[in-house]
Amino acid sequence: MEVASKPRTTRSLDSLELQCPPLPHTLLEALELMHQPDGPQLDQVIRMVENDPGVTTRLL
């Protein structure tokens, strides 16, 4: 039985700082934006997405 080796990390990834808010926080923020009377403002959506690398990845 062969054991998978641990993936190697590169130095470029070592300095990467990701700020990942918990999913419920991001989800609640998105729901609040969706339920605004005039709809979400672009700058509000951008701020939410910038703070969640998972959402950013999905959008790209």
Q: How far is residue 51's CA from residue 54's CA, in Å, rounded to a whole number?
A: 9
pLDDT in tens, the chain (60 residues): 555 555 555 566 566 666 665 566 778 888 888 898 998 888 988 888 887 777 777 767
Q: How far is residue 38's CA from residue 57's CA, in Å, rounded to a whole number?
A: 27
pLDDT on residue 27: 81
For helices 42-50 and 23-34, the axis angle rounded to 10 degrees is 170
Q: Within a 10 A sphere around the Cβ of 49, how many other Cβ atoms?
A: 16
Pair of tokens at residue 51? 């703070």
